[in-house]
Amino acid sequence: MSKTTEAYADLDLSAGLKKLVAEYEGPHVFTTSFGLEDQAITHAILSESLPIRIVTLDTGRLFSETYEVWQKTNLRYGVHIESFFPDANLISEYIRKHGPNSIYDSLDLRKECCNIRKVLPLDLALKGVKIWITGLRKEQSSFRNDLSLFEEDKTKGILKYQPLLNWTWEDTWAYIRENNIPYNSLHDKGFPSIGCAPCTRAIEEGEDFRAGRWWWEQTSQKECGLHWVDGKLMPKKGN
């Protein structure tokens, strides 16, 4: 365990975020997709009035339930969470060439859609940012098992902090309920991981947390590219 990770390992969510903003020069940004983990972090940031900017990526294909919890969150905390959108010209050209649901036709086309709708807007959201806070948890995917609380994304020149990395799904629910935090109603319908509507389904009992993401693809690496380094999900040790 690195010295940086060790110093944060036993801190609760609020304490870790407070320590982060005290010790690391910003700007600090937290990216939310309004899932259960992200709602927990949003609550910790806003209830403590921490100087961390909260942004989201509106892909244009989100569930209506996601917009509902977004609105509830704004009202609950008296904020207007900032949104970043895909380039309209890129979307128009993609649909003209491939059609509106070409994500089902090939892995490359799905990844191209993710790149336009999520990765490129994320690059804009993180422009000039030094610390990026995410809601990743090890339990979500086998590809996240080896991640650390802190990861260096050298391609972006950003240090990532994942305060919920060692939380379980039950830990997350307990925090949500204890603090009466608004959450996406799809979680009550078998959706532990929620992305774009065409790309997400409920999971069956015993399935992996991310089995409902891009379920038609014959691959175990269910990632959209937001957390890839050099083309893959890769922990960077030594922080």
> Can 114 be counted among the known catalytic residues?
no
* Token reading at 127: 């422009």
Cβ atoms within 10 Å of 179's Cβ, excluding its own: 12
Q: In what order do the strands lie in the sheet with 158-161?
A: 82-84, 53-57, 28-32, 131-133, 158-161, 150-153
Integer CA distances (angstroms), 46 to 22, 31, 56, 75, 229, in order: 16, 14, 15, 12, 29
* Token reading at 24: 């690391």
Catalytic residue among 114, 196, 199, 224: 224
3 state SS of 58? coil
Those residues with Cβ within 8 angstroms of residue 27's Cβ, 6 or more apart along the chain or in another chain: 53, 128, 129, 130, 131
* Token reading at 1: 């365990």
d(CA 143, CA 48): 32
Those residues with Cβ within 8 angstroms of residue 92's Cβ, 6 or more apart along the chain or in another chain: none
Query: Which residues are known catalytic residues?
Result: 224
